Copies of this chain bind each other. A is one copy, B any other.
Amino acid sequence: MKDIASEIGVSVALVSYVLNGKKTDKINEQTAAKIKSLAAKMNYSPNQIAKSLKTSRTYTLGLIVADISNLFYSSIAKYIEQEANHHGYHVIYGSAYEDPERFNSILHLLLSRQVDGLILAIPEKAEGCIPMLTALNQPFVVIDRKFSAYPEAPAILLDNMDASKSIVAHLIENGFKRLGAVTINRNLVTLQERKKGYIEVGKSLLKKKPFIYEVEEEHMETQMENVIQKSLFQDKVDSLCFFTNKIAMTGLSKIAAMDMAVPNKLGIVCFDEADAYNLFKTPVTYFKQPLPEMSKAAIDHLLGQIDKKDHSLTGKLAEFKGSLVIQRSSRKS
């Protein structure tokens, strides 16, 4: 900028005005044109660091997911990025792998990079960041999680109870009577509600509590093997629901390996969309979260906070209804 100014013989300030389109009505057109063309010729691009220091706006959003190589989060990341770009923002990602320490370290990094807003999938035991961010007056929105200790925190997530209910209803309609579901060893409210919904509707419609199996994320491969054996041959379930995409991938690969008749011997439903579900011998029914709408809502909410510094917006907890995509794995015929 200094180079441009001295080359043309004007002040740095004037260059700044021209390049930012300010006060255009009061600037000599020819001077402006000269400045613009020189800037283009020099391939000038403003130093955002300096700009941000002055304006304290970085037009960058921070996103912390559980695991970027997990399809659910990489899809969300994609939609969030698109939506953010659309509003002139960019996104920095990080993966916390459900580890509170790792989460906090990324959070501090993003904060020190002065992101304008934060989108967070907060792991268990890291929810302390909620009052902290509120105290700092830092715009943020939680995705895919909620914490009963902080009902006022803005959160965007699936109506998980509703999701489970519609899955169970669908299975029962299709003649399944002994329901099983597989979840993981995390106390996330999201998972608890999927479980609660499953049990509730199962009980009320079948007079029988569904079997719920829990595997540890760290030993999913081996434990899944046992769960499937137990559910099929001991509990004699006639259907299995996998509560996350990752659980589903592990479970389905085991079932694929044992040549089980799906859906006749075993009905299957999964959470979240994945191309992989169509590689399974019978295409798999899944519950689809409306990721584009959820991403849009997250960004809108965040930009609302940023622009208006309007904290009346916080406290809005948005639960989205998803939809069941019915394929052959859960349709007896």
Contacts and interface: CB of A to CB of B under 8 A. Distances in A.
A95 interface: yes
Select the residue from A47, A49, A95, A279 with max chain B CB neighbours within 10 A.
A279
18 contacts: A49-B52, A49-B114, A53-B53, A68-B74, A69-B71, A69-B74, A69-B77, A81-B95, A91-B93, A249-B275, A249-B276, A249-B279, A253-B279, A256-B283, A274-B276, A275-B276, A276-B279, A279-B280
A125 interface: no
Nearest to A278: B253
A274 B49 CA distance: 39
Contacts of A279: 249, 252-253, 256, 276-277, 279-280
A257 B49 CA distance: 53
Nearest to A53: B49
A58 interface: yes
B249 A45 contact: no
B113 A48 contact: yes
A244 B296 CA distance: 31
Select the residue from A45, A67, A113, A252 with max chain B CB neighbours within 10 A.
A113
Interface of A: 43, 45-50, 52-53, 58, 60, 67-69, 71, 74-75, 77-78, 81, 90-95, 108-109, 111-114, 132, 249-250, 252-253, 256-257, 274-281, 283
Contacts of A277: 279
Contact of A90 (B49, B52, B77, B109): B109
Contact of A48 (B71, B93, B94, B114): B114
Contacts of A109: 90
Contacts of A46: 112
A318 B197 CA distance: 53
Given A49-B49, A93-B93, A256 B275 contact: no
A216 to B, nearest CB: 18
A3 B298 CA distance: 35
Given A275-B249, A276-B275, A75 B69 contact: yes
A50 B69 CA distance: 32
Given A249-B279, A256-B283, 11 more contacts: A48-B112, A48-B114, A49-B58, A49-B113, A68-B78, A71-B71, A93-B93, A274-B276, A276-B279, A277-B279, A281-B281
Contact of A94 (B43, B75, B90, B256): B90
Given A74-B74, A92-B92, A112 B276 contact: no
A129 B229 CA distance: 56
A115 to B, nearest CB: 11
